[in-house]
Amino acid sequence: MSEHGEHYEIAPRRVAFDWRRTPLHWIPDEPTATHVINVLHLLLPAGERWFVKVFKEGLPLIRDPELLKDVKGFMGQEATHSVQHAYVLGHLAEQGLDTGPYTRHVDFLFDVLLGERPPRGIPVPAEEWLRFRLAVIAAIEQFTAVLGDWVLRAEGLDRAEPDPVMLDLLRWHGAEEVEHRAVAFDMYQHCGGAGLPRYPRRVLGMAVTAPVITYLWAWGAAYLLRHDPELAGRTRYSLREHNRAVRKGLLPTWRELGSAVPRYFRRSYHPSQEGSLRRAVAYLASSPAARAAAGAAGRAAVS
Ligand SMILES: [Fe+2]
Ligand SMILES: [Fe+2]
């Protein structure tokens, strides 16, 4: 990623998290905020695996060696994110919260509806189908950048004294999202063709992505609250509880999320204007998981 003329290197960190002491309600006494954030674990294992698959399809189209390097770093980071969030699903299952009935739908979305070929034989040329999916990834990455920057700044979360392992997972991931926030957009611009359809296709990618994500999020939060064995059906997902958590700074505001969309529609938009790379890099220098990974990599290099 070129930022202010310098090349910022994107590389995965081989992190590991120990979930054994993480309680089901990892934000104490805040089941709604806990499960609204937990929707990330439902969507990201399949979603980020899919990013990597689509980018693999796009690799032969890359003509710029610098972009190719960024894309490979991006793929390494997203593959690691996918695996780490999948471990959380295993931990939820051990605590009696089976997410399989929900994630089956997410798998269907990414593997079948957004798979290598258009669903139900819809006659879209292969190149156009790839460009559409790259536009969807660029749109999703606008949200992951906004959420990543939010979680790094979320003092309300610190005040709530959440489980430190979960907070580190969220902030390590959020920081890497800010680090690589421009790669999917640059990839789309590079592969999207120089002609007229490139901008409207980018708009279409967001017009499809924003409502689908909103729907999946509300459904996911409702699913988790309904199947949470400690709540036994006493708490339902409601806008009132959600907004209460927003006021406490446990969730991003609707304005922060909503304004990400018109910003993305600007013709002059570039993701390097999103969030703070400085804050992301500072967190990664202090993250327990990222530091342990850097230490392990350093030890492997000298032995
Ligand atoms: Fe990610
Ligand atoms: Fe990402």
pLDDT digits (tens, 9 = 90+) for 267-284: 999 999 999 999 999 999
- Within a domain: 30: yes
Ligand 2: centre distance to CA 232 (Å): 34
Q: What is the pLDDT of residue 195?
A: 82
Taking the C-alpha atoms of residue 100 and residue 142, their distance in angstroms, rounded to an integer, is 27
- Within a domain: 19: no
Ligand 1: centre distance to CA 73 (Å): 12
Ligand 2: centre distance to CA 231 (Å): 32
- Within a domain: 203: yes
Ligand 2: centre distance to CA 101 (Å): 25
Nearest ligand for residue 274 CA:
2
Total domain count, the chain: 1
Q: What is the pLDDT of residue 143?
A: 98
Instruction: Select from 86, 84, 109 the least CA-distant residue to 99.
Output: 86
Give strand pairing partners of 6.
3
Kindly report which listed range (13-17, 106-110, 195-199) carries the lowest average pLDDT score: 195-199
CA–CA–CA angle 118, 64, 265 (5° rounding): 55
- Within a domain: 97: yes
- Within a domain: 11: no
Is residue 168's pLDDT more than 90?
yes
Nearest ligand for residue 81 CA:
1
Range of the domain at 118: 26-296
Taking the C-alpha atoms of residue 191 and residue 7, their distance in angstroms, rounded to an integer, is 21
Decide: 165 and 18 in contact? Cβ < 8 Å: yes
Ligand 1: centre distance to CA 83 (Å): 10
CB atoms within 10 A of CB 121: 7
pLDDT-derived band at 301 (thresholds 50, 70, 90) equals confident
pLDDT-derived band at 6 (thresholds 50, 70, 90) equals low
- Within a domain: 17: no
Structure tokens at 172: 């390590």
Sort residue 237 into left (φ over 0), alpha (ψ -120 to 50) or beta: beta
> 6 phi and psi, to 5 degrees?
-100, 150
What is the signed CA dihedral for 141, 98, 239, 251, rounded to 10 degrees?
-50
- Within a domain: 13: no
Ligand 2: centre distance to CA 195 (Å): 26
- Region 126-154: mean pLDDT is 97
Ligand 1: centre distance to CA 126 (Å): 26
Q: What is the pLDDT of residue 223?
A: 98
Ligand 2: centre distance to CA 144 (Å): 6
- Within a domain: 253: yes
pLDDT digits (tens, 9 = 90+) for 64-109: 999 999 999 999 999 999 999 999 999 999 999 999 999 999 999 9
